[in-house]
Amino acid sequence: MAKKELRIGLVGYGFMGRTHTNGYKRVGDFFGELEYKPVLQAVCGRTEDKAKAFAEQWGYASYETDWKKLIERDDIDAIDICTPNDQHAPVAIAAAEAGKMVLCEKPLARTTEESQPMVDAVEKAGVPNTVWYNYRRVPAVTLAKQIIDSGKLGKIFHYRANFLQDWTINADLPQGGAGLWRLDATAAGSGVTGDLLAHCIDTALWLNGSIKDVSAVTETFIKERMHNLTGKKEKVEIDDACTFHCHFENGSLGLFESTRYARGHKALYTLEINGEHASIRWDLHDLNRLEYFDHSDESQVRGWRTIHITDGDHPYMDHYWVPGLCIGYEHTFINQVADFLRSLQDGTPCPPTFRDALETAKVCDAVLKSARERSWQDV
């Protein structure tokens, strides 16, 4: 059976450009039953040499150096945005207006204000859209969602999440430019809040529902860094660390923390949910496992279960290997591509949509405002 083509135009060829492309290239091998197949039509980047080299290494049929031209092309069905955050809005809006589907790297944009028109644009155009909050598609996290939806946890009391890194402790690390735009507030919008907590918030909203209000504190430990774009020492405007507590609509308390100054942790995204009857824990450094405690177990042998999420009846895992064999970080993107293709097939949205991601933006904005004003903020 001939598959329908989904011709991809990728904007940006950095770390995320690679993870998305890998998703497109591999989905057919593992999800052979899907009607659609992605086609790597074009990659777009400002530096011609690099765009060309990326196209060659990863197998794009062509390249562009101006994203507006990419969007004008008739042979592109979907625009995938992997640029720094400040380019998300203009590209996404133009793509939607040109009738393209839009897949946007997270966070949706730098602020709610910048995000809202993106939502409006895709909804007005009626184009399929999704945001790459990829951790929803870690099989263990997807299973957590299924367990929660089954009612096994009962009333929720606590939700907590951390995202701990240590890569910016060195004061000699500059800000700005390729690979370091995450330290540059103009490009990134914020620091760990938009980069890391946004992931934690997206998962939390999905697993535990809406957040009502937040109280936050942020810190910038290193106040000035050399700026790669200006060549001068400049004030660091991003948040190096952020913690907040919050109330969820369901009555539970939330506690979130993120930092790039937690020596010893590389990308330690950890979450835990405590319900009346059961609890769940997960961390990204050991992503194939879910920890689960069920109070209904016989009391003498009741304990935290460490479940190796590699069996055929675990989410997504019937598409990979055999029990006990780990998958990795990159499979979250393959899974999201598969779900996106399936959503085209079914005519249903592929969450998180732009509208879903707007909620995360609102929480991030409330967090940053709370930190600035040292007061509770409604979301």
Sites for a second copy among residues 313-372 (CB under 8 A): 313-314, 320-331
State which of residues 4, 15, 99, 224 lies at the interface with a second copy (CB under 8 A). 15
Binding a second copy (rule: CB under 8 A), the pick from 17, 191, 275, 352 is 275
Closer by beta carbon to a second copy, 172 or else 322 = 322
Candidates 90-98, 122-130, 194-202, 279-287: pick the segment binding a second copy (CB under 8 A). 279-287
Q: Contacts with a second copy: how many residues (CB under 8 A)?
A: 94
Nearer to a second copy, 124 or 266 (CB): 266
188-247 residues near a second copy, rule: CB under 8 A: 215, 217, 219, 221, 241, 243-245, 247
Nearest distance, CB of residue 65 and a second copy, angstroms: 21
Rounded to a whole number of angstroms, the minimum distance from the CB of residue 326 to a second copy is 5
Residue closest to 17 by CA, chosen among 357, 50, 173, 344:
50
- Binding mask 238-267 toward a second copy (x if CB under 8 A, else -) reads ---x-xxx-x---x-x-x-x-x-xxxxxxx
Adjacent-strand bridge partners of 257: 162, 243
Q: Which of 58, 116, 237, 351 is in the footprint of a second copy by CB under 8 A?
A: 58
Q: Which residues within the stretch 25-54 sit at the binding site for a second copy (CB under 8 A)? A: 25-26, 28-29, 32
Read off the tokens for 77.
């069905």
- Sort 299 into a burial class: Cβ within 10 Å, 0-12 / 13-18 / 19+: exposed
Maximal CA-CA distance, the chain: 66
Return the half-sphere exposure (C-beta side, CA atoms, 13 A cut-off) of residue 190: 30
The residue assigned the tokens 């184009």 is 127
**Residues within window 70-129 making contact with a second copy, judged by CB under 8 A:** none
Surface-to-core class of residue 157, CB atoms within 10 Å of its CB (0-12 exposed, 13-18 middle, 19+ buried): middle
- Can you say how many angstroms the Cα of residue 17 is from the centroid of all Cα atoms in its chain? 13
170-202 residues labelled b (16+ CB within 10 A) or e (exposed)? eeeebbbeeebbbbbbbbbbbbbbbbbbbbbbb
Residue where the block lists tokens 């400002």:
46
Q: How far is the CB of 260 from a second copy (least distance, A)?
A: 9
Two structure tokens written together for 48: 């011609």
Nearer to a second copy, 57 or 348 (CB): 57
Closest CB to a second copy among residues 232, 301: 301
